[in-house]
Amino acid sequence: MKGCLHIVRGMKKKLTLPVPSIKIKADGTIWYQGMPLLGIEDAQVKAKAVAAVKAKRYADIPDDAYTRMGDNPNGLWAGDDAAWSKHPANLRDDARAQAKAEQQAKIVRIYLSSRGWGDFSPVEWIGDITRPDADILAECRQLLINGYDVDNTNQSHTEILALITAARSKWSTPKQPFKTPTHGPGYCYSCETYCYGDCGHYNPDPQIKYRRDLREAQREQNYGVED
């Protein structure tokens, strides 16, 4: 067994334990770091079990308190990564995560207006772009009317609808995966020309350009200008 051991009660995961720290004895009981993995909810029974573990009198612990692989009388379920991948609790959590991701993917920002002097935060509508145009239009209109120090409040329905349409078009357009440009021998990523080394900083590794572009983007984000 590799990976992790997952412990579930009902439909809620209780523990995730690394397999190297797990030992399964001949009777099937699971032990973690030299101690039995027990599933006891009754306070009095739990107190007696704790005392028995401290005294290493494991025979005093009821057999149904021990945990074995699969479903147990103590209410716990135990399984490895493969079993956990098929467990109803995991399938439910995966479905919830997927639904949340799909909903989050619908969230876009629509820039509506700048604000007055001294406030660099724009007036933006943020929400689900798949909602009806009329609903989004009404919310955009409220942001422009009720927002503070809005520069461009008098936008027509046509202008706002154009912003909504543009945002939806951009959102629905599949993003093209980045393709690394291919350049022949002699191309230098330091000066971005076929200098064959004449610039004095010849480097055929495209990573140098990516790192430079990243630094420039970070400077622009932090300061609003390129140094």
- 54 has a pLDDT exceeding 50: yes
Q: Could you tell me the pLDDT band of residue 227, with boundaries at 50, 70 and 90?
A: very low
Residues in CB range of 49: below 8 A, 6 or more apart: 38, 40, 61, 62, 65
Please give the pLDDT value at position 28.
Answer: 95
- 77 has a pLDDT exceeding 70: yes
Q: Could you tell me the pLDDT band of residue 136, with boundaries at 50, 70 and 90?
A: very high
Write down the pTM of the prediction: 0.58
Alpha helices in the chain (DSSP H): 43-54, 81-85, 88-104, 133-146, 157-172, 207-223
Q: Could you tell me the pLDDT band of residue 76, with boundaries at 50, 70 and 90?
A: very high
For the chain, the straight-line distance linking the first and the last C-alpha, in angstroms and rounded, comes to 55
Please give the pLDDT value at position 119.
Answer: 67
DSSP string, 13-73: EEEEEEGGGEEE-TTS-EEETTEE-B----HHHHHHHHHHHHTT-GGGS-GGGB--SEE-T
Q: Could you tell me the pLDDT band of residue 2, with boundaries at 50, 70 and 90?
A: confident
Lookup result for tokens 């770091």: 33
Q: What is the per-residue pLDDT across 80-120, written as a single tens digit (0 to 9) for each?
A: 999 999 999 999 999 999 999 999 999 999 999 998 877 67
Give the angle subtended at the CA of 192 by the CAs of 186 and 193, to the nearest 5°: 50
Which token pair is 27?
């009777």
Mean pLDDT to the nearest integer, 12-28: 92
Please give the pLDDT value at position 120.
Answer: 74
Mean pLDDT to the nearest integer, 183-209: 77
| Average pLDDT of every residue of the chain | 87
- 9 has a pLDDT exceeding 80: yes
Q: Give the whole-angstrom CA distance, residue 197 versus residue 188.
A: 7
Q: Give the whole-angstrom CA distance, residue 111 versus residue 6.
A: 46
Higher pLDDT, 221 or 179: 179
Check: CB of residue 72 under 8 Å from CB of residue 8: no
